Structure 1
């Protein structure tokens, strides 16, 4: 009897160690993947901030040439402020869409001012902004890839059991705002 009791006790101890090790492994893995998501989100925030920082210089350059285009300039400044104060990925995506639309209208205005287009300062700022836009696109893709990996992990069995126990929740994708796929309408006849 004593030998059987020791074997059962040893089996229980080994079972607890195996289950405990599995829990720790699952938890640590999910924490690592969640950190990847947060790191990619921080990369998007950095690129959005870079764009927000470039815009005042671009706007001031355009102001010097296009004083009568105050409405477009105001729209860019307002959209920039909205993006600076955005919280959460959905709000940031919406504000980013508004800013992209306002910048598109601003660049249409630039077409009417050949001297502005040929300005070295404007060209430099335009190049910086274009580079930043490309970095933002890459950062969005990287973020969404990290979110996909994370969301798949917390939804698959048996990870979903541990995710529920440890409070891991689904992450939001960075999605373009509704209407972002359409070209903004610019009318100078009003």
Structure 2
């Protein structure tokens, strides 16, 4: 009886040591994954705010620039793609497309001084600018949380626990190719 008790005690100690290693690592991964999800929700929240502002901006511009339909259509199309994006990568691409369309709109606006002076337009642009700033902060916060989570997934013993329980690395919210280059804005045809 005493001989059988010795191996059981050793097995019990091994199980306790393993549990002492696995449980905190698992809980840390769960907490970290929740932080990533929460940060991503904030990115989506700011993207939604931006998408909600854009129809008002487009409608304000339409009243002044009816013949600029292509630019306005590009904004609507990019907004629809952003609304249909499902992953951080898709959202980043759609976001970059929408940003490009909005920058083309700003070039169009330069042709309409009365539009730039319109109080509704100025208020919408201020709100959009504030949203862009909040979006940049939300993306940075999300990427910080992804970085922390991915380190936990890659480090020992987290890598073993992540593999056992199906935790995978998360995608960063990345800028599109060529985002490091400043856009070229041509005001050659703009009347002063």
> The TM-score by the shorter chain falls in which range?
over 0.9
**1:140 lines up with 2:139 in the alignment:** yes
Is contact 1:30-1:154 (8 Å) kept?
Answer: yes
How big is each residue's C-alpha offset from its partner over 1:59-92, in whole Å with a ceiling of 9 and x where there is no partner?
Answer: 0000001111111111111111110111111110
Distance 2:160 2:185 in 1: 49
Output the TM-score relative to the length of structure 1.
0.92
Distance 1:53 1:78 in 2: 14
- Number of corresponding residues: 188
Output the TM-score relative to the length of structure 2.
0.91
Distance 2:52 2:65 in 1: 21
Distance 1:13 1:152 in 2: 31
Distance 1:17 1:27 in 2: 15
Shift, 1:167, TM fit: 0.8
Distance 1:69 1:186 in 2: 16
Deviates more, 1:82-91 or 1:176-185: 176-185
Q: Tell me: CA distance 1:95–1:139, structure 2 relative to 1, closer, same or farther (3 Å).
A: same
Residues 14-163 of structure 1 aligned to structure 2 (within 5 Å): 14-163=13-162
Is contact 1:37-1:143 (8 Å) kept?
Answer: yes
Shift, 1:38, TM fit: 0.8
Residues 176-187 of structure 1 aligned to structure 2 (within 5 Å): 176-182=175-181, 183=183
Q: Flag structure 1 segments of 5+ consecutive residues without an equivalent.
A: none
Is contact 1:104-1:184 (8 Å) kept?
Answer: no
Shift, 1:164, TM fit: 0.8
C-alpha RMSD of matched pairs (Å): 1.7
